[in-house]
Amino acid sequence: MPVYNPPLRDMQFVMHEVLNVSADFQSMPQHAEMDADTINAVLEEAGKFASQVIFPLNISGDTEGCTLDKVTHEVKTPAGFKDAYKTYTDGGWSALSCDPEYGGQGLPLVVNQCLYEMMNSANQAWTMYPGLSHGAYAALHQHGTPEQKALYLPRLVSGEWTGTMCLTEPHCGTDLGLMRTKAEPQGDGTYKITGNKIFISAGEHDMAANIVHLVLARLPDAPPGIKGISLFVVPKFLASADGTLGARNGIHCGGLEHKMGIHGNATAQIVIDGAIGTLVGQPHKGMQAMFVMMNAARLGVGNQSLGLTEVAYQNALAYAKDRIQMRSLSGAKAKDKPADPIIVHPDVRKMLLTAKAYAEGGRALAMYSSVLLEKVHHHPDEKVRKDSDEMLSLLTPIVKAFLTDNGYQAATMCQQVFGGHGYIKEWGMEQFVRDARINMIYEGTNTIQSLDLLGRKVLGNNGATLKKFGKLVGALVQEEGVNEKMAEFINPLAVLGEQITKFTMEIGFKGLQNPDEVGAAAVDYLRVAGHLVFGYFWARMAQVSLQKIAEGSTDPFYTAKLQTARFYFAKLFPETAMLMRTARAGSKALMDTDAALA
């Protein structure tokens, strides 16, 4: 059976020693009194919930899956899921970072980020049920009418109701401009909505009294394409203004997808047959409101893979220390045993360190992104809010794509550490691999994220936001450039910081001549940008660790952090050279292939 121990020490290190979040909180009135001890105490309890309540349900939930009653259209979740959700809501976890005006606790988003990382490590399929509610909450909080906010937000915050996002349809995938779902005005402020949606995570279940669906649809006078989409809130059960549930709405689950992973989550085919809904935001402006939810989901999906990277690493490390097989190439290490633990073998260490480096680098980026989001919503200085929003916009596709690519690679490597046992269900590793695979696909495939990063977030403003991140890199390089102990971290970071400017200009110029050049380079480009960001945070983590050791600390945590940083820069960061070379190879080798693909 797999194990999971919440990585509280590393979370505390990133929050308090690297990012110094308390300094940011002091500039925001609602968090000015928030201190490290309070945050640490909350996270300790969050770790207990994740490891003790939902982690034991992970394998059983995967084995049992969800069951659809085709007569009632109700979905039964795996045994224990509903009780665990009650424990979750009773503990106030659903309200952790929500607005106190609607019953939330108002804690910083970085605390919620850590809670969800731990829950994703423990049980990604279960975590998706409350996780989708955060996106629905965010969209309604920003774009809902006063009546919608009063009805839905307190119940989403408490967890009494959950939320979903109903976007795609069988024929359109990510190209939502092709969607056909219709909304007919009824003359009383409501709309009758008809259509079909697919791949709706947590689209139907028995864990909450009501499900609040946010549905994209077209009004009768809608212009074609993406500019003709409106957003509607469509509850499973109609409700009066005081929250009393009434008749079942015309929206139900027509089928459940049979999937490779996340079996414990109901991925629903949603049938909408004259369901009553209300408009969210302005007509034909639905994507503006939905992007609030989609961006939250993209950050959340990156966090899913971060959680899986961590739990896969923990189990592979424990196994590698215990499993004996063959002798070390440099001589027996466990002379009292017939063979050495496999952790002595260089390639086993490489796989373990890859997962560790990607988990800890991803944690730093995810936390930094959550602090940026906090500033977007709550910082009193308008310029800080704008700058934070711009930076978060740049980093969101990196969080989604780089962390999920890395997460799948890490989970597969950790499975490999187990050898044949990694292929056997009881060890849990094959489930981590299967669950991790979806994260690269949904909420916009990673190719879509790469096009978004290069085409919109970088070239779309002539690299202005990328240059702002480059200034962070440059400031760190200038600060530590003469420190010999930091040279192994700073020098490669400085080189890439200079190279990426020229690299970006080359792709942009070629793209002006032929747009396919951008498409051909995008995936490679995102990984280069991802390593630039990871390199920056790994250098900062190494900087803090060296400072602590210089101050006399003998805590092995800092030594371990430095060793992992050295591995990252020596073995993973150099991938950027290959990626820039393949990106520069251009589109011809891809597009001039009609005969090959005939």
Other CB atoms within 10 Å distance of the CB of residue 177: 13
Alpha-carbon distance of 200 to 256, in angstroms, equals: 9
Reported as half-sphere exposure (CB side, CA atoms, 13 A), residue 435 has a value of 37
Distance between CA atoms of 279 and 222, rounded to whole angstroms?
14
**Residue from 415, 294, 292 nearest 352 by CA:** 415
In eight-state DSSP terms, residue 570 is I
Backbone angles phi, psi at 333, to 5 degrees: -105, -35
Instruction: Please state, in angstroms and rounded to a whole number, the distance separating the CA atoms of residues 154 and 198.
Output: 28
CB-hemisphere CA count at 13 Å for 396? 26
551 is catalytic: no
Q: Is 123 within 8 Å of 2 (Cβ atoms)?
A: no
Residue partners of 235: CB distance under 8 A and separation at least 6: 152, 161, 210, 211, 212, 213, 249
> Are 55 and 82 a contacting pair, CB within 8 Å?
no
Which one is catalytic: 374, 390, 443, 480? Answer: 443
Length of the chain equals 598
Q: How many CA atoms lie within 13 A of 431 on its CB side?
A: 26
What radius of gyration, in Å, describes the C-alpha atoms of the chain? 24
At 144, give phi and psi (nearest 5°). -75, 160
As a whole number of angstroms, the distance between CA 441 and CA 405 comes to: 10
Interatomic CA distance for residues 307 and 315, integer angstroms? 13
Look at the alpha carbons of 286, 287, 292, 298 in this order and tell me if their dihedral is positive or negative.
positive
Which positions are annotated as active-site residues? 443
